[in-house]
Structure 1
Amino acid sequence: MNSIPVGRRWALYPTPGCCLLITENRFVMRLVWLSINASYSHSSLALPLLHQASRTQSNWVWHKLESSLGDSPEELAVQLAELEADLVCCSLYLFNCEFVFSVLQRFKVLQPDCMVIAGGPECLGSGAVSVLEKCWAIDLAASGEGEALMPEILQALSKGILPHGLSGTAWREPHSGQIIAKELTPPLQYDNWPKDNPPCQSKFFALDKPFVQMETTRGCPHGCIYCSSNRTEMRYKSLEQVAGELELLSKKGVTEIRLLDRTFNLPEKRAKLLLQMFRLKFPELKFHIEIHPQYLGEELRQELLLANPGQLHLETGIQSLQDEVLQALGREASADKSLQGLAFLCQCSAFDTHADLLAGLPGQGYENILDDLKRLIAIGPAELQMEILKVLPGTPLQKQATALGIRYNPAPPYEVLQTRLLSPRMLRQAGKLSRLVDLFYNQQKLQAPFRLACAEHAGFINDFMHFLSNDGFSAHWAGSLSKRFIYLAKFCHNASDHLKDCIALHWLKAGLTLNETPYYQPEALSEIPPDCLLLEGDWSVLGLKSTRLYLLHGAQQSHVLAFNRAVAMQQPCAIWQYQANRTP
């Protein structure tokens, strides 16, 4: 490590304008954490984790400057400069790095003597060097778990020493500007995790967000080449530690927790015990969990069947339903077993299950993408997300991309642009498919008719997308709900009576305009006819003042719908199936 030259910011003794404070014959130094989130609802664990790990460095005062991507980088740079920090730290992600760079470069012009350190996923492996190359305002980048470095960095700076030469870092020499790195791979691990105090004990743990994040494990045994946790050592918090942390969170008023565990249900026995703990000891908390549907043994399935209604939200990383593609990815998975596990999860009524797919994978063709979508839609997860594969810094895929024939954007978000089997145009089409699924399948009011159309028409997804594209549909299209219904109805005008009946019924269930119902015109009724089977709602609405009844007389099925604004503003408050094959 090098001694820091005397200057405005890094003097061993206070100089005019320096923010060092003298307290009991010690210098108190100021660290400012620049926290840039994707939106208000998001907050990283990085700051509270590092703050807890560095609690022995008592001569440092920590501050947080928090913002989101929608704010002004110019204003943030001024606010950061006004805090007169001795050290500025930040965590870089693919979604925020360009914005953070623009803030830091303005700040560094205003405060050239303040040291700036970055960490986070963008700095993994060779990414630490890349970050320094991309942003001249950053002096040091750390690869891996920052808790392993932060106390040592703060201690060095307190002594007037530059924290250069530490394993797991890349740094910029102050005079020559040369970038030097030391042992960036494998990324650093913090040996004291999980024995350290939980991050919720830090004053920087965000309790004002809709949800909080929590770890019960670190590492992942799987070999997915696109993941930064590829085959990293598994470390676990004990069940007692997890219970203690959940008790703290509950006492702090937290109601929703997103677990960051890469694969929650490995090992299965531990997952079963955790789910049992959530169900019996913390029924007031909601949990968002990532789960691998292939690893669902009988005991774990039985526990999932006992889940408290609404307590769990499961996300399954399917990625692909082609075994040869999974093998190319390094995923030790069977498409059929994953599909069977997903089918089980989707049949569990106590929680919603989401499924994720990737496009742009090695060995994947366009027909594979369409087939994967069709098979998952047939299973029926609550939501289905498909994203273009990203070649992230520090991942095996980044090193293997050329050999695999993958071309990708070198700047965030690092999306794949071309593969051996997917042309640039095909990947653009895949982006439109993703938008189509999000707007039509993931809209619950449209999901049933959309699924039925997929089941009845073998090439529906691709044909419907081309139909929409002829009218300007793109990956950024955002039509209203009624407009989406109208497009679907137009495309399906020659479809089966069953599908048309379904579209018309769900139009009305969505609360859309009665006299614009596709295919049929609802008829006003003065009373409910006989032979009606209640499907939704309650018979009691018939006795309420201002309840209006309408008959939707379809080609195969007819329904009576009750509307009352005092119960539901636009949507029907009760629905009956009308079983007589005639108009009353």
Structure 2
Amino acid sequence: MKIILSTLNSRYTHSAIGLRYLYANMQELREHTEILEFSINDALQSVAEKLLDNNPDIIGLGVYIWNASQIHELIHILKKVAPYTTIILGGPEVTYLPFRVNFDLADYIIQGEGDLAFYQLCKDIKNGTAHERIIRMSIPNLKAINLPYEHYSDHDIQNRYIYVEVSRGCPFECEFCLSSMDEKVRAFDLEKVLEEFEKLWQRGARNFKFVDRTFNLNMKTANSILDFFLAKEPPYFAHFEVIPDHFPESLRQKIKRFPHGALQLEIGIQTLNLEVADNISRQLKLDKIKSNIAFLENETTAHIHLDLIVGLPGESLESFGHNLDELMRLSSCEIQIGILKKLSGTHINRHDIKHGMVYSDIPPYDILKNSQLSFKDIQIMKRFARFWDLYYNSGNFKKSLPLLWQDASVYENFYAFSLWIYAKTDSTYKISLPRQGELLFSYLTQVKELCEEDVAKRMLQDMMKLKGRAIPTYLKAYAKNFQIEAKLGTSGFNKRQQ
């Protein structure tokens, strides 16, 4: 029996930890099992060809929100070409009903954590005893699961992020999140996990992305993991998703010791409106959240990534704007703006009637409108989020972008700017960096009517911070005034700052 484990990752640099858990627990079938990974950018017929090259009896596919539509099409191709190949699906996108992508052509679907269930199903298929098409799994004992980390290849270690975890589950009940469906937080054997991390390190792994939903929930575990990295020589990179209101002193002291570029913390704020948070069963301790953000901003070199969501039930654009303005007052860190999604299995659907929530049934299931935000509003905010990434989160315009709002509302001024950009470009993609800069310069000088020389000075600082970069055409007239040396691509004022 030949078994292929596969999925379509969202990017080439990502790796699928779930496939490696399945592989690690295949017991006597492991020698007949192979992992083949692809990305959503790969041609699906080519993917199907490679999957079928070894004449597999079983193909197991991981289904996620980012690849559900492509997996549907891939199954269609596989069943047309090799109808007797057994296809087994697993992953978050098939764990809860309703399925909003048609997976009728799949032979079996494992709902829940399939670390042990996939092996048992393959064994049953081999023995001719498998019968139920949809298999609902109970939560497995994590200490009974073989860890996956030795099954990251040397190629993975050199070219991809290594995904790791020390726990599963979440104690909170945020209604938009699938993690709220877990019964409790469960932990792996910490000593064994650390042993596996050490092996990865010795093999050259330096990019660790933790998929734990609440990394700083358990202080003993969090401190042990941070100690593991602090004992190592940089450079390395560790990414954690953390609870915003739980940074006791022991954790703070360790975070302060990480060198620049070594630590990234993702903090799900989502909303600062207490009434909206209560609507979605989300706990908010605002004083602690603000204190912790201030600590991370002022006393650490960690890269901070804050999340806000557009479209939550009961939240107006005005309320969202207050959230963004408040976060900008607290921090200069990255702020990721997401659009609310309705994931099967979550309890966010209880607001559908009261708040007029209307969602797309096509992945990623974004909200289309609600009683406070029209379809047009949502479309505008999707573009707002995209332009926010290009101009703010990119860090390309640190000096010049604040001229947009100065001492006024960040949200209101960037909102107006995003409307103007879209009117000029009719696009949110394929806008080159020089074009982005030119648009910002034009808006600041023509619409905001700011002094051209003042704007140009800041723009040159932004655009010329990389040596060797050519001076943009629209700034050349001002470059001489600030002693820009075109051959070096470096400004006189930058040299004075260095």
Q: What TM-score does the superposition give when structure 2 sets the normalisation length?
A: 0.89
CA drift of 1:282 comes to 6.3
Of 488-497 and 145-154, more deviation after overlay is shown by: 488-497
2:466 aligned with 1:513: no
The amino acid across from 1:290 in the alignment is E
Deviations 1:204-250 (A, max 9, x none): 69435331100111010111111111052111234422321211111
Does 1:65 pair with 2:36?
A: yes
Most deviating of 408-417 and 568-577: 568-577
1:55 alignment partner in structure 2: 27
Q: Partner of 1:575 in structure 2?
A: 495
Partner residue, 1:13? none
Contact 1:320 1:335 in 2 (8 A): no
Write 1 or 2 for the structure with the bigger share of strand.
1
Contact 2:116 2:145 in 1 (8 A): no
My pick for the range that moved more, 92-101 or 71-80, is: 71-80
Please give the alpha-carbon distance, in whole angstroms, between the structure 2 residues aligned to 1:153 and 1:340. 50
What amino acid is aligned across from residue 397 of structure 2 in structure 1? L
Alignment of 1:138-537 (within 5 A): 138-162=106-130, 164-165=131-132, 171=133, 181=134, 184=136, 188-191=138-141, 193-202=142-151, 206-230=156-180, 232=182, 233-281=184-232, 283-398=234-349, 401-402=352-353, 404-458=355-409, 459-474=412-427, 476-493=428-445, 501=454, 504-511=457-464, 513=471, 516-517=474-475, 521-523=478-480
Cα drift, residue 141 of structure 1: 0.8
Deviation at 1:390, TM superposition (A): 1.1
Total equivalences in the alignment: 487
Q: Separation in 2 of the partners of 1:488 and 1:194?
A: 54
Cα distance in 2 for partners of 1:256, 1:481 equals: 27
State the Cα distance separating 1:147 from its structure 2 match: 1.2
Q: Provide the residue aligned with 2:16 in structure 1.
A: 44
Once the two structures are TM-superposed, the CA of residue 502 in structure 1 deviates from its matched residue by 5.6
- 1:496–1:110 Cα change, 3 Å: closer
SS in 2 for 1:447: coil
For residue 496 of structure 2, what is the amino acid of its counterpart?
A: W
Q: For 1:505, give the aligned amino acid.
A: R
| Counterpart for residue 467 of structure 2 | none
Q: 1:473 to 1:373 in 2, by over 3 A?
A: farther
**Cα 1:482–1:197, aligned 2, differ >3 Å: closer, same or farther?**
same
Q: 1:399 to 1:76 in 2, by over 3 A?
A: farther
Aligned-pair CA distance for 1:571: 6.1
SS of the aligned residue for 2:64 comes to coil
Deviation at 1:431?
Answer: 0.6
- Which residue is 2:84 aligned to? 113
What is the alpha-carbon distance in structure 2 between the residues aligned to residue 498 and residue 270 of structure 1? 54
Greater alpha carbon shift after TM alignment, 337-346 vs 226-235: 337-346
Partner of 2:75: 104
Q: 1:344 & 1:500 partners in 2: Cα distance?
A: 36
Report the 3-state secondary structure (helix = DSSP H, G, I; strand = E; otherwise coil) of the residue aligned with 1:353. Answer: strand
Retained in 1: the 8 A contact 2:100–2:362?
Answer: no
Counterpart Cα distance in 1 of 2:461 and 2:2 = 60
Alpha-carbon deviation of 1:96? 1.1
Measure, in 2, the Cα distance between the counterparts of 1:82 and 1:469: 46
Residue 125 and residue 188 in structure 1: after superposition, are their counterparts in 2 closer, same or farther (change >3 A)?
farther
State the SS of the aligned residue for 1:296: coil
Match of 1:75 among 46, 59, 70: 46
SS in 2 for 1:47: helix
Q: 1:339 to 1:36 in 2, by over 3 A?
A: same
Residue 83 of structure 1 aligns to a residue whose secondary structure is: coil
Shift of 1:570: 5.2
Q: 2:62 aligns with which of 84, 91, 95?
A: 91
Within the alignment, does 1:135 sit opposite 2:92 as a pair?
A: no
Q: SS state of the match for residue 496, structure 2?
A: strand
Q: How far apart, CA to CA, are the structure 1 residues paired with 2:305 and 2:451? A: 27
The amino acid across from 1:51 in the alignment is Y
1:540 aligned partner: none
Q: How far off its partner does 1:477 sit? A: 4.0
Instruction: Please report how far the alpha carbon of residue 360 of structure 1 lies from its aligned counterpart in structure 2 after TM superposition.
Output: 1.0
- TM-score norm. by structure 1 comes to 0.76
CA distance in 2, matches of 1:249, 1:508: 41
Structure scoring higher RCO (CA < 8 A, sep ≥ 6) equals 2
Distance 1:130 1:465 in 2: 32
Whichever residue aligns with residue 200 of structure 1, its letter is Y
Q: Which has the larger radius of gyration?
A: 1
CA distance in 2, matches of 1:576, 1:285: 31
Shift of 1:415: 0.5
For 2:66, the aligned partner's letter is F
Aligned Cα root-mean-square deviation (Å): 2.8
Which secondary structure does the structure 2 equivalent of 1:315 belong to? strand
Which stretch of structure 1 is more off in the superposition, 427-436 or 334-343?
334-343
Mark the runs of 5 or more structure 2 residues left unpaired by the alignment. Answer: 465-469
* Alpha-carbon distance between aligned partners in 2 of 1:484 and 1:298, rounded to the nearest angstrom: 42
